[in-house]
């Protein structure tokens, strides 16, 4: 193509999409109907996964709940059924195991059908400094927070591509956009999850030209117990997020087919500054925001999960 014509077409598209984005800032996009959709949520046994399941159940979706914690998953199942005549299927699945993901995925296809909305939500965090993080917990962080996304997408994406219909949702983190001290394994695994989700979005959109949607979510610390003990220096700028608020924002983003969701909005400012200021300025900004001390009193979910991880490690 002629470079002049090519450039003119680019600027035309760029201007059109810019104006379109401005319009959608004023007039919200029409929300899609998820009734009848088969929605699979990993890490559905508590916190964000549970709340998302309740939201989808309220809108008539069929729920498939995955969690390694069978007791928590069954409690989510019970809460979802309170929403009325809802189809819900609960499965115990260790998302860190490729073999188990594929096995349970086959079971879901046989018993429920083809998943049309996949929400990769399962996550673990150790909250230890790099040199104090045991090797098996580093591996666990990557297996659950990032590599499991490869297996779930490989399991369910082919049917979406065949039907030219579906939605992939990645729950990453602000820590997947900027490194946070005391979270070296978690942060790097969330970077990996974000990178995978974004590259797959581009592949599906630019190369395969499908109608499959993607939503990539990057929230700050959420009050789910996972980041118990974390603090924030200036709650007005970087608040510890209420899980109900985050779940509602994610649900709305999915219904509006929003590609990127970063919470809170101040994070957009901080991320922009990161790209243009010097490293020393960035460190000064981090200290001002309390990033250097936010993990000092971290405890996290230290009870059943640590015992379970230790047992799994000994059995290997």
What CATH number should be reported for the domain holding residue 168? 3.40.50.720
pLDDT at 243 over 70: yes
CB 170 within 8 A of CB 216: yes
74-124 per-position pLDDT tens digit: 999 999 999 888 999 999 999 999 999 999 999 999 999 999 999 999 999
Please give the angle made by the CA atoms of 160, 54 and 51, to the nearest 5 degrees.
Answer: 95
CA distance to 32, 55, 75, 293, per residue, from 50 (Å): 21, 9, 9, 30
> What's the pLDDT band for 311 if we cut at 50, 70, 90?
very low
**Average model confidence (pLDDT) across the chain:** 91
CB 46 within 8 A of CB 72: yes
pLDDT of residue 302: 56
Confidence check: pLDDT of 176 > 50: yes
Whether residue 247 is found in the same domain as residue 275: yes
Distance CA 281, CA 294 (A): 19
Mean pLDDT of 166-182: 95
**Cα separation, 62 vs 40, whole angstroms:** 9
Provide the domain count of the chain.
2
Per-residue confidence (pLDDT) for residue 296, from 0 to 100? 85
Higher model confidence: residue 171 or residue 84? Answer: 171
**What does the DSSP 8-state code read for residue 240?**
P
**Among 29, 77, 38, CA closest to 60:** 38
255 and 243 within one domain: yes
Residues in the chain: 316
Q: Are 47 and 76 in contact (CB under 8 A)?
A: no
Residue with tokens 């640590």: 306
Taking the CA atoms of residue 307, residue 310, residue 311 and residue 314 in that order, the dihedral angle to the nearest 10 degrees is: -160
Residue 267 lies in domain: 31-315
In the prediction, which pLDDT does 4 show? 85
- Residue 263 φ then ψ, to 5°: -130, 130
Q: Mean pLDDT lowest for which of 104-108, 161-165, 268-272, 311-315? A: 311-315
Residue 173's Cβ-count burial label (10 Å; 0-12, 13-18, 19+) is buried
- 135 and 3 in a single domain? The answer is no
| Catalytic status, residue 102 | no
C-alpha radius of gyration, the chain, whole number: 20
Considering the domain architecture, whether residues 40 and 136 belong to the same structural domain is answered as yes
pLDDT > 70: percent of the chain: 95
Q: Are 16 and 50 in the same domain?
A: no
Q: Catalytic one among 91, 102, 186, 268? A: 186
Judged against a pLDDT cut of 80, whether residue 307 lies above it is answered with: no
The verdict on 218 and 69 lying in the same domain is: yes
Determine the pLDDT at residue 25: 78
Write down the pLDDT at residue 306: 47
Are 10 and 123 contained in the same domain?
no
Which one, of 115, 63, 55, lies nearest residue 86 by Cα?
Answer: 63
- Are residues 242 and 276 both part of a single domain? yes
Q: Which candidate, 125, 59, 128, places its Cα nearest to that of 87?
A: 59
Give the per-residue pLDDT at 2.
Answer: 85
DSSP 146-162: IIHHHHHHHHHHHHHHH
Q: Are residues 7 and 135 in the same domain?
A: no
Taking only the tens place, the pLDDT of each residue in 131-158 is 999 999 999 999 999 999 999 999 999 9
- 53 prior amide bond cis, ω within 30: no
**Which pTM was predicted?**
0.91
Q: Supply φ then ψ for residue 296, to 5 degrees.
A: -60, -45
Q: Are residues 191 and 254 in the same domain?
A: yes
Residues 44 and 188 in one domain: yes
Judge if 218 and 262 occupy the same domain: yes
Instruction: Give the CA distances from residue 249 to residues 57, 80, 215, 244, 262, in Å, rounded to whole numbers and listed in that order.
Output: 16, 19, 12, 9, 10
């Amino acid at each position: 193509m002629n470079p002049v014509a090519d450039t003119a077409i680019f600027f035309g598209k760029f201007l059109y999409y810019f104006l379109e984005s401005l319009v959608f800032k004023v007039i919200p996009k029409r929300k899609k109907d998820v009734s009848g959709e088969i929605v699979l949520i990993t890490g559905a046994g508590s916190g964000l996964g549970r709340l998302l399941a309740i939201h989808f159940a309220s809108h008539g979706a069929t729920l498939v709940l995955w969690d390694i914690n069978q007791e928590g998953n069954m409690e989510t199942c019970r809460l979802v059924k309170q929403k009325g005549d809802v189809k819900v299927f609960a499965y115990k699945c260790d998302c860190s195991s490729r073999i188990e993901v594929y096995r349970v995925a086959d079971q879901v296809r046989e018993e429920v059908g083809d998943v049309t909305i996949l929400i990769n939500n399962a996550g673990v965090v150790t909250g230890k400094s790099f040199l104090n993080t045991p090797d098996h917990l580093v591996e666990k962080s990557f297996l659950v927070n990032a590599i499991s996304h490869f297996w779930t997408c490989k399991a369910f994406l082919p049917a979406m591509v065949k039907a030219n219909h579906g939605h992939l949702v990645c729950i990453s983190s602000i820590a997947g956009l900027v490194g946070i001290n005391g979270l070296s394994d978690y942060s790097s695994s969330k970077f990996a999850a974000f990178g995978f989700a974004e590259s797959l979005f581009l592949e599906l959109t630019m190369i395969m030209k499908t109608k499959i949607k993607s939503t990539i979510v990057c929230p700050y610390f959420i009050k789910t117990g996972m980041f118990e003990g974390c603090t924030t220096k200036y709650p007005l700028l970087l608040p510890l997020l209420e899980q109900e608020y985050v779940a509602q924002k994610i649900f709305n983003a999915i219904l509006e087919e929003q590609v990127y969701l970063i919470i809170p909005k101040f994070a957009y400012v901080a991320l922009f500054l990161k790209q243009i200021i010097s490293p020393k300025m960035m460190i000064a900004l981090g200290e001002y925001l309390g990033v250097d001390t936010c993990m000092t009193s971290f405890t996290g979910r230290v009870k059943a999960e640590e015992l379970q991880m230790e047992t799994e490690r000994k059995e290997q």
